[in-house]
Amino acid sequence: MAILSISEILNLIITTFVVGYIFTGYIPFPRKTPSDDELIAKYSRNYFDWEEIKFTMLVAAPGIILHELGHKFLALLFGLSAVFKIFWLGLGLAFILKLAHSPFLILAPGYVEISGNASLLQGMLVAFAGPFFNLVLWLGSWYLLKTRKNMPQKTVFALALTKQINMILFIFNMLPIPPFDGFQVFSSLYKLIT
């Protein structure tokens, strides 16, 4: 049995690309100052900036994709069934907010459907596995920014954005209210210690 099915791989690719596209315009893209001719060319023909989308995919998508894969792989390790699925309503809402030039985003692009009989501890650990990857990306990028010198400016910028995005993802996902992962983590922890 494959760890990831073909449909899951396709869903991950779609989610990564759409998340990259959604974040264009929200994440400032480091570039040289364009000439007047480049600006006219860009705005006169609905410009699709592949370089900007690649940058936003690199900065925004890992926190979302690794979060979901953390849930999936730990659930599989515990012998549970786990399948990554696109949450079309959540992805569509973010896409509409982007097209409407909303000043904020609501983004819930995917989830992992888990089935099987998990113990309370296993359920808590699977719920925490997603935010754990956000914590690692947050603290890892913070550490690299603090300890590494002479990095290219684009790398410093990407790490700073990765740090900020994953800090937000970690904090929001650990809120102890449904439907966030923190609700399951803290309610399971409470049941385990009482």
Q: How far is CA 8 from CA 2, 118, 123, 134, 181, in A?
A: 11, 22, 22, 21, 21
Question: Under 8 Å CB-to-CB from 66, ≥6 apart: which residues?
Answer: 133, 134, 137
Q: At CA 192, angle to CA 188 and CA 194, rounded to 5?
A: 115
Provide, rounded to the nearest whole percent, the portion of the chain with pLDDT above 90: 65
Q: How many residues does the chain have?
A: 194
Q: What is the DSSP letter of 29?
A: P
List pLDDT tens digits, range 69-103: 999 999 999 999 999 999 999 989 988 988 888 88
pLDDT at 37: 55
Model pLDDT, residue 194? 87
Q: Give how far Cα 180 sits from Cα of 1, 52, 77, 99, Å.
A: 30, 30, 22, 26
Q: How many CA atoms lie within 13 A of 147 on its CB side?
A: 6
Q: How far is CA 66 from CA 39, 111, 130, 185, 188, in A?
A: 36, 11, 7, 18, 23
Name the helix (H) or strand (E) containing 7.
helix 6-23
CA 51 → CA 55, 137, 152, 157, 168, distances in Å?
A: 6, 23, 17, 15, 25
pLDDT of 34 strictly over 70: no
Q: If pLDDT is split at 50, 70 and 90, which confidence band does 33 have? A: low
Tens digit of each residue's pLDDT (9 = 90 or more) over 130-177: 999 999 999 999 999 999 888 998 899 999 999 999 999 999 999 999
d(CA 51, CA 57): 10
Q: What is the mean pLDDT of residues 116-134?
A: 97
8: β partners:
none
pLDDT at 21 over 50: yes
Please confirm, yes or no, whether 8 is among the known catalytic residues. no
pLDDT of 25:
77
pLDDT above 70 for 30: no
Mean pLDDT of the chain: 89
**DSSP assigned state of 27:** B
- Please give the pLDDT value at position 137: 98
- What is the pLDDT confidence band of residue 44, given thresholds at 50, 70 and 90? very low
Residue 45 has pLDDT above 50, yes or no: no
Residue 15 CB neighbours (<10 A) = 21
